[in-house]
Structure 1
Amino acid sequence: MERKRSACTTVLVGKDATIDGSTMAARNDDTGKPLNPLKLVSYPAYHDHPNQTKAYLNHFIGERPADGYRYQGVPNVDLRNEGTYDESGFNEKNVGMSATESVYANERVLAADPLNTESGINEDAIVAMTLPFINSARQGVQYLGQLVARYGSAEGNGVIFVDKDEIWYMEIVTGHCWVAERIPDDSYAVTGNRIAIQEVNFDDRDNFMWSNNIREFVEKHHLNPDLHGWNFRRIFGTADVFDQHYNTCRQWYGHKVLSPNVKLDPLDFNLPFIMRASHKITLEEVQSVLSSHYQGTPYDPLGHLGTEEQKHLFRPISLNRTQNSHVLQVRNDLPEAASCILWLCFGIPSFTPYVPFFNNADDIDISYRQTPMKMNMDLKSAYWMYRGLSMLVESHHPEFTKPDLDYLKSARQFFYSWIDKTAPKVEGMEDNQINAYLSKSEKELVAEMAKRTKKLMADLMMQGLGLSKLTFVMDENL
């Protein structure tokens, strides 16, 4: 059984391209329906215990080593019907992984090397099979590449690995074929569900990795359409009307935000994956790409600039079925024990905040680690609280935009101040002290955000009562 996959959007930024020298790997996890409850967990390290990972959504069974690191995950609540899909997080060695950006290969290459849908490694199990066992972003690619060679892949996936120095983007496109590219330190990358990697330099092993015999595979099956060069996207990817209205538009808008002086076409099949940054990119800019519904363009379904046809021409980046939007940030200006921050958004990113979680705070607040399948009106669950806020803001978007934007701006300022105050204090602490201190501070932050969010929701509901169309003003002359 394979879950019908949906779509995601990815933004990656090298350390010399960011304003604070951090590496940032960001992605939206979009599913096929508006509600698919998630939770945030910290899986403990284990030792001398060889074990297996079994997928819920196909017949994959993977052998895991005897020792594994502690790591974060953002799994589904309904495991048996939706699969685990741990999605994103850091391990205790300060290596981050985000999986997966669904990518789709063309029928020529899939005919030559079909996906192993029955028993290949899939999105359901890919994080649990990889993240607990890697010590760097580069090793993440190598380790996962070995798993694909052993088990085959059940679907086309783009997988991100990040550490303090490097970001690697790996695209697994057929049963056994993959290529990975290192994002240059002075550059950023944007993609959305199309195969992204373009020209591959097989003489540059510092910046490219690939599956065994991939060039021989392409040559044997006559798969390269170009007279010269080796363009991974053109060989393995698709280029059709669906791509133009669903995929290329998101890549275009990411470049529009991050390279505002470069003019590109949202229908262009050859949009660049990687671009050199023209300015120092901020965390807010990365989040603004992932929270976008094409604000300021005729294509905004909530805007007033375009015709009805234009407003619905392109698939927005931020959707009501975006279940988990995240930024994996490694701050090189903070103590190493507090340098890895998972910025996690559980609502629709357009309307709700990215809340910071340190990877070394593994005692996660109950509002994030216990999510019921259905909403309770006490709003003790972070997932349901932020989904509820999203629905409220969109219901009267013109009237509620300003108070929501003020709330988000205030939250970001609060988060930045909290990190600057909290992180330096771990210097010189023992590991158990670091965990206890960061976990306690994290719970205080989560409680403050619950207080702020519930107040905003109450204010919006009271304002909304006055916006009902079931009203009538009596003419005083009658």
Structure 2
Amino acid sequence: MKSKHIKTIFAAALFSTMVLAAKPAEACTGFIIGKDLTEDGTFMFGRTEDYPFQDGNAAHNKNFIVHEATTYQDGDVLHEGDTGFNYPHEATEMKYTTVSDGSRDDGENLNGDYGEHGFNEAGVSMTATVTASPLAYQKGNHKEIEKVDPFAQVLEEQEKAKIKEKALAEGKTEEEADALAESTYHRLGALGESGMTDLILPRVKTAREGVELMAKVLDDRGAYDGNIVLIADPNELWYMEILSRHQYVAIKYPADKFSVFPNTWFLGSVDFNDKENVIASKDVIAVAKKAGTATYDKDGNFLIARSYGPNKYSPGDQSRAFAGIKWLDPDADVHYEDQFYDLLRTPTHKDHKYTVQDAFALQRNRFEHLPQFKPDDEVPAGYHKKWDDPVYKYALGNRNVIDPHVYQTGLKLPVGFGGVAWMGLGQSRNTPYISYYGNITKTPDYFHPQSQSYDTNSWYWTAQHIDELASSNASLFGKTIQNRWKALERAEIKRQKMQNDFYETAGLTAEQASGAVTQDFFALTDVVFKEMKLVESKMEAAIKGDRAALAYLEDVSTLPELPALHLKKADSAPTSFEQKKFDLKDLDKIVQNENGKSIHHMVTPIVTPEKDMKAMVKQVAHQDKAATYSLMTTEKKAMDKTDNALPETGAKSSLLASSLGLVSLALAGALMKKKKETV
């Protein structure tokens, strides 16, 4: 979530000293799923960035870029004009990726880059941030904390209010007074969201180092506003809450828990003596005591969020936290009316394993599993929506989402890979996720346009336009577009699994590996972007009455095959994986795997060495097209209505999702066996 000085469309003031903004800043939802709970043993984490709260679907351009490793001179500084934050560059800084605002590098960088999330070349990943500052109307302990250790934003807004008041008294107009206040107030140079990734990623080699650097800067410079930050490396993941200008607590996230956290603080009690797993400011308890807000549980443990935060969640925070918890754990003993939700959660069914598709579904969720609620961007004409409406709530997959992303870390890959990121760039409900490794060296041109209005050559603007067409013509398209992207993603997941398996043992140099994954990322995005442009044109035709265009979109067998992979082990010839096609009847053939569980039969891949240096790995592209379309045709009405009441790996998974997941497992086993025989 953003709190920009120049471009903000809602009041920057978030505390009691300021006037309530006309539009509540309910935005951004983070999640974490511990590695013991996932199907592939990875930590999964991510966030939806929601902005800018305009009428209709959100429109705020995003770029996906690679920042090259850079050598700096003495005196060079990182400058974020949004907060006035300056920090000296190191002599050499590492390569890193970010998904930044299209307005990046605008002159004096007045609005900040807002790097949001990325990897660095050391394998560290980060998403920043889930803004956690309470809203102006909220009551709670934060009001007293503000008197003792106020965020820089609060102090700056107070100064601007005084300048404006004086200007009005001198006879200036409201507009003139606002302009004078904005141009003359003193920026305190505190660290805010706009510069966090640019500060951390080029400098640190582990997640812990990232948290320690954040802590050092917060101790010295202070925080602009409240935030929640996630920093990971291949070995661990850290969750950090920035509670006031100089107070913070970070924990090493446990492997057996999951969390869903919108825009407020959630931490309960921690063992401050456990320096291995907790990093906290030295005065975090003392400040709360001084403010008279220190809160303890029945056992005398200091409760962090309750000591620093509001006494009740905002309606938008309540609806997203509740919906997320119930999506990931339908039997969780939580209720919408609960005053607080625990951050660290244990699934009711401990043997349940989550997949990346469950994470996508979480970020797309629009209360399909909670029929008592409806998304508040679907309020019908004439309906008077209340502030905390009993029916229409702020959904996870709302119209304001502009940057959904999911990270997977902890794969058995060389450190430089970092992990796998799945990026949406657009409204999660109608945009496809695409995957990439952290060691890519560049990104295609369609991720670079910085235009502030529709650009046909822009990935973001194409995705945004597709969502606009779909949401404005919901009765025509229903979930046709989302279902199409889900089918595409199933093929991408298989392709990504093949890459992961290969690179675990490829033995490539960092340069060889980064070159290969960059080449494959370009090939993938080329196919997907062309498909997005085709979908866009077919939707426009369907809106004009072209029934054939609509039928084309509904038929997922018209999706393109994904490109071949460029995989070559060190000191060996490339390897080619050829996958035979299979018919619908193959789905009915059941065999037993080595554990005695039923799996859907499929022909074993043929693995052969190739002399031709141009040989590629042919991915298992859309062997499920016919099966997918057949099942989708049968279940389309049900899917449009509910989109399934549980995650795709839950008890009510469709036959297709179950069978394809098992097929992938069978393929992986056969593939690994064949690799050993031929490489």
TM-score in terms of structure 1 length: 0.90
Alignment partners' CA distance in 2, 1:216 and 1:449: 53
- Which of 297, 303, 322 is the equivalent residue of 1:231? 303
Give a deviation string over 1:298-334, Cα, whole Å, max 9, x none.
2223789xx9666753211222221211112125144
Change (3 A) 1:335 1:129: closer
Change (3 A) 1:405 1:58: closer
Structure showing greater radius of gyration is: 2
Match of 2:454 in 1: 375
Report the 3-state secondary structure (helix = DSSP H, G, I; strand = E; otherwise coil) of the residue aligned with 1:184: coil
Match of 1:299 in 2: 373
- Asked if residue 99 in structure 1 is aligned to residue 128 in structure 2, the reply is yes
- Which of 347, 356, 380 is the equivalent residue of 1:283? 356
How do 1:146-161 residues align onto structure 2 when only pairs under 5 Å count?
146-161=216-231
Runs of 4+ in 1 over 6 A off after TM superposition: none
Alignment partners' CA distance in 1, 2:545 and 2:498: 41
Q: CA deviation at 1:217?
A: 2.4
Q: CA deviation at 1:380?
A: 1.8
Q: CA deviation at 1:68?
A: 1.5
Match of 2:614 in 1: none
Q: CA deviation at 1:72?
A: 0.8
- Which of 123, 128, 141 is the equivalent residue of 2:193? 123
Q: CA deviation at 1:27?
A: 0.3
Give a deviation string over 1:375-415, Cα, whole Å, max 9, x none.
13xx2210011101111111222431342133122211221
Alignment partners' CA distance in 1, 2:265 and 2:435: 30
Aligned residues of 1:327 and 1:344 also touching (Cα < 8 A) = yes
How do 1:154-303 residues align onto structure 2 when only pairs under 5 Å count?
154-226=224-296, 228-240=300-312, 243-277=313-347, 278=350, 279-296=352-369, 297-301=371-375
Alignment partners' CA distance in 1, 2:132 and 2:281: 17
Give a deviation string over 1:182-220, Cα, whole Å, max 9, x none.
221011111001111111222323332211222222233
Give a deviation string over 1:419-455, Cα, whole Å, max 9, x none.
1333455422222222221111111100111122222
Match of 2:145 in 1: 109
Change (3 A) 1:268 1:467: farther
Structure with higher RCO (Cα < 8 A, 6+ apart): 1
Question: Could you tell which deviates more after superposition, 199-208 or 361-370?
Answer: 199-208
Alignment partners' CA distance in 2, 1:102 and 1:383: 23
What amino acid maps onto 2:240 in structure 1?
M
- Which of 419, 443, 462 is the equivalent residue of 2:541? 462
- Asked if residue 418 in structure 1 is aligned to residue 495 in structure 2, the reply is yes
Report the 3-state secondary structure (helix = DSSP H, G, I; strand = E; otherwise coil) of the residue aligned with 1:40: strand
What amino acid maps onto 1:176 in structure 2?
H
Match of 1:140 in 2: 210
Q: Indicate the percent of aligned positions where both proteins have the same amino acid.
A: 21
What amino acid maps onto 1:101 in structure 2?
V
Change (3 A) 1:392 1:205: same
- Asked if residue 90 in structure 1 is aligned to residue 163 in structure 2, the reply is no
Change (3 A) 1:367 1:188: same
Aligned residues of 1:371 and 1:383 also touching (Cα < 8 A) = no
Match of 1:28 in 2: 48
Q: CA deviation at 1:457?
A: 2.3
Alignment partners' CA distance in 2, 1:409 and 1:417: 13
- Asked if residue 42 in structure 1 is aligned to residue 66 in structure 2, the reply is yes
Q: How many residues align?
A: 463
Give a deviation string over 1:107-154, Cα, whole Å, max 9, x none.
111110011233211111111111111122222111100011111111
Report the 3-state secondary structure (helix = DSSP H, G, I; strand = E; otherwise coil) of the residue aligned with 1:62: strand
Report the 3-state secondary structure (helix = DSSP H, G, I; strand = E; otherwise coil) of the residue aligned with 2:292: coil
TM-score in terms of structure 2 length: 0.65
Alignment partners' CA distance in 1, 2:209 and 2:416: 21
Report the 3-state secondary structure (helix = DSSP H, G, I; strand = E; otherwise coil) of the residue aligned with 1:253: helix
Q: CA deviation at 1:338?
A: 4.1
Aligned residues of 2:149 and 2:246 also touching (Cα < 8 A) = yes
Aligned residues of 1:156 and 1:173 also touching (Cα < 8 A) = yes
Change (3 A) 1:40 1:55: same
Unaligned runs of 5+ in 2: 13-24, 135-141, 154-186, 548-679
- Asked if residue 63 in structure 1 is aligned to residue 71 in structure 2, the reply is no
Unaligned runs of 5+ in 1: 469-478
Q: CA deviation at 1:365?
A: 0.8
- Which of 430, 440, 463 is the equivalent residue of 1:386? 463
Give a deviation string over 1:259-315, Cα, whole Å, max 9, x none.
1111322232211111123321111111211122212322223789xx966675321
What amino acid maps onto 1:325 in structure 2?
P
What amino acid maps onto 1:394 in structure 2?
S
What amino acid maps onto 1:43 in structure 2?
H
Alignment partners' CA distance in 2, 1:453 and 1:332: 30
Aligned residues of 1:159 and 1:171 also touching (Cα < 8 A) = yes
Q: CA deviation at 1:249?
A: 1.5
Alignment partners' CA distance in 1, 2:110 and 2:361: 32
Alignment partners' CA distance in 2, 1:19 and 1:398: 36
What amino acid maps onto 1:75 in structure 2?
S
Aligned residues of 2:443 and 2:522 also touching (Cα < 8 A) = yes
Q: CA deviation at 1:59?
A: 2.0
Match of 2:103 in 1: 78
For the aligned residue pairs, the C-alpha RMSD in angstroms reads 2.4
How do 1:309-324 residues align onto structure 2 when only pairs under 5 Å count?
313-324=392-403
Aligned residues of 1:43 and 1:71 also touching (Cα < 8 A) = yes
Report the 3-state secondary structure (helix = DSSP H, G, I; strand = E; otherwise coil) of the residue aligned with 1:120: coil
Question: Could you tell which deviates more after superposition, 421-430 or 322-331?
Answer: 421-430
Alignment partners' CA distance in 2, 1:219 and 1:258: 36
Aligned residues of 1:162 and 1:168 also touching (Cα < 8 A) = yes
Match of 1:475 in 2: none
- Which of 79, 82, 90 is the equivalent residue of 1:54? 79
Report the 3-state secondary structure (helix = DSSP H, G, I; strand = E; otherwise coil) of the residue aligned with 1:132: coil
What amino acid maps onto 1:290 in structure 2?
Q
Aligned residues of 1:300 and 1:311 also touching (Cα < 8 A) = no
Change (3 A) 1:124 1:402: closer
